[in-house]
């Protein structure tokens, strides 16, 4: 199986689009935050694909490191969003 830059960008855009759709479709604020990890996953796929195919001389693990960084940022966003909504609902 041969993976190209175009396939990485198309898959990342599709996952990001699904995340944006989930974020905008849901009415309650707590349910709307379900789309944040999907958006970050799509961005991670695009970053991993772009850095993988950017140059041949760079370290091939850079894309995986960037994808892991985006996943950690998505986890932090999700934790912040859940904390924010729980605090708002407890009053």
- The reply to whether 48 falls in a domain is yes
Return the ∠ at Cα 78 (arms to 87 and 16), rounded to 5°.
Answer: 140
- The reply to whether 2 falls in a domain is no
- The reply to whether 59 falls in a domain is yes
- The reply to whether 91 falls in a domain is no
- The reply to whether 3 falls in a domain is no
pTM over 0.85: no
Q: Please say if the pLDDT value at position 91 is more than 60.
A: no
pLDDT band of 5, cuts 50, 70, 90: confident
Q: Please say if the pLDDT value at position 22 is more than 60.
A: yes
Structural domain for 40, as ranges: 8-84
**Count of domains observed in the chain:** 1
- The reply to whether 90 falls in a domain is no
- The reply to whether 35 falls in a domain is yes
pLDDT digits (tens, 9 = 90+) for 45-72: 887 777 777 665 666 666 677 777 777 7
């Amino acid at each position: 199986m041969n993976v190209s830059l175009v396939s990485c960008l198309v898959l990342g855009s599709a996952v990001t689009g699904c995340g944006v759709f989930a974020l905008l479709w849901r009415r309650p604020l707590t349910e709307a935050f379900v789309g944040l990890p999907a958006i970050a996953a799509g961005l991670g796929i695009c970053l991993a694909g772009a850095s993988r195919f950017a140059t041949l001389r760079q370290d091939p693990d850079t894309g995986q490191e960037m994808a892991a960084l985006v996943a950690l940022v998505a986890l932090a966003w999700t934790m912040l969003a859940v904390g924010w909504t729980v605090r708002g609902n407890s009053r």
